[in-house]
Structure 1
Amino acid sequence: MRAMANQAPAEEAIPISRVKISEPKPFCGARDAKALKNYIFDLEKYFKATNTVTEEAKVTLAMMHLSEDVKLWWRSQYADMQEGRCTIDTWDALKGELRSQLFPENVEILARRKLHELKYTGNIREYVKQFAGLMLDIRDMSEKDKVFCFVEGLKPWAKTKLYEQRVQDLTSAYVAVERLFDQANDSQDVRRHPSSSFERNKNNRLSSPKTAGGDKHFNGDRTSYQSNTRNSWRGSGNQNVSNRPFSCFICQGPYLARECPNKTAFNAFQASLASD
């Protein structure tokens, strides 16, 4: 008994009736497949959340969330129902009427034509967005055909990569192609980066203290500097050879050694050294 008394009371489940459920946004009747599908999707989730099960209640709630032009259309339909000229008494029937009025068959034909012409031109996310929008207008295409049409609109190198990955559904194809193009953009950035890095390193070397101390006569034109350096070295060597005075290595006189008057004495001295 004491153990049971010490146990914390179990948390009570909050009944669904006490949860505030947001109502769907009104549908204005725009001839936009995405807007119509979102309206139908939101209403069906709302029916489930509010436990709306009867067909009459579903039709009434759907009618209350119509606005502008489509509201006028519904009023004319309602008048015809009152006169017995038509019957829209189920949610499925109302969805069919909305699709026939706002989503005619020629919309799908136009979408298929646009799909045939759609090609990737430079922005992969824009291509994915346009393709996904066309898919909303085409209702009876298989998933395999969707993937094929999507991949065929890409550049040859991207098509090859996606076929190698063997993507099976459109969502996986979207993710794979965006990741593929992100990697390609990163690789291009890396290829461009080393050249900038090389220029920065080159400038750093030219302005480093070691270089500045060694090239004191360098004024920005390294070729001229090197040429001047070579010429000055060669010039100084040639000047030493051609302009310096002749000197005899025997007696240091101002003449060549072969003209030295002391040459005979020097030869005799060398002979005596050899005989010793």
Structure 2
Amino acid sequence: MGEYAALRDENRAIGITDDAKKVDHAPLYLVDTAIVWWRWRHDDVEKGLCTIASWDEFKRELKRQFYLKNAAHEARARLRHLSQKGSIRDYVKEFMETLLEIPDYPDAEALFAFTDGLQT
């Protein structure tokens, strides 16, 4: 789901707020199987078999295709056992990437998990 985070960040950075423009802009950041998936979905849209007109619809379709049903649960388990083994920069990167897979993780719990995993 790295593609989704890149899309969200890019939309914010360049000030795209219109849903239709977000959807039109999205394929520029898809790679590998995600771009192949989009081509198939776009063909379905063109044929009138489905609609993906809003950003929420695009996100829902992208998640349905690529987000594993138990991904958040697995990410929580990884976060619980995550600890700093190398540089702080590497730990922060791994922690944040894992945290992004858990949409409803409370900030207080994230702070506790982060500090608990730091080297002493």
TM norm. shorter chain > 0.5: yes
Match of 1:148 in 2: 112
Instruction: Give the deviation of 1:148 after TM superposition.
Output: 1.1
Query: Is 1:111–1:137's contact at 8 Å kept on the other side of the alignment?
Result: yes
Instruction: Give the deviation of 1:67 after TM superposition.
Output: 4.4
Alignment partners' CA distance in 2, 1:108 and 1:150: 17
Percent identity between the two aligned chains: 32
Deviations 1:143-171 (A, max 9, x none): 1010111222245xx4xxxxxxxxxxxxx
Amino acid aligned to 2:33: D
Match of 2:62 in 1: 98
Q: Alpha carbon RMSD of aligned pairs, Å?
A: 2.7
Query: Is 2:7–2:26's contact at 8 Å kept on the other side of the alignment?
Result: no
Query: Is 1:56–1:89's contact at 8 Å kept on the other side of the alignment?
Result: yes
Which of residues 11, 31, 46 in structure 2 aligns to 1:43?
11
Q: CA distance change for structure 1 residues 108 and 58 in 2, over 3 Å: closer, same or farther?
A: same
Match of 1:84 in 2: 48
- What's the TM-score, normalizing by structure 1? 0.37
Amino acid aligned to 1:129: K
- What's the TM-score, normalizing by structure 2? 0.75
Q: CA distance change for structure 1 residues 44 and 102 in 2, over 3 Å: closer, same or farther?
A: farther
Match of 1:116 in 2: 80
Alignment partners' CA distance in 1, 2:117 and 2:95: 10
Give matches, 1:1-276, under 5 Å: 32-33=1-2, 35-46=3-14, 48=15, 53=18, 55-121=19-85, 123-154=87-118, 158=120
Q: CA distance change for structure 1 residues 125 and 62 in 2, over 3 Å: closer, same or farther?
A: closer
Alignment partners' CA distance in 1, 2:55 and 2:92: 33
Deviations 1:114-152 (A, max 9, x none): 112123346444333322221121211111010111222
Count of residue pairs brought into register by the alignment: 120
Deviations 1:82-104 (A, max 9, x none): 34332211122112222332333
Alignment partners' CA distance in 2, 1:105 and 1:75: 23
Structure 2 unaligned spans of 5+: none
Query: Is 1:40–1:95's contact at 8 Å kept on the other side of the alignment?
Result: no
Alignment partners' CA distance in 2, 1:75 and 1:97: 13
Q: CA distance change for structure 1 residues 131 and 68 in 2, over 3 Å: closer, same or farther?
A: closer
Alignment partners' CA distance in 2, 1:97 and 1:143: 27
4+ residue runs of structure 1 moved beyond 4 angstroms? none
Q: Which has the higher contact order (CA 8 A, sep 6+)?
A: 2
Structure number with greater Rg is: 1
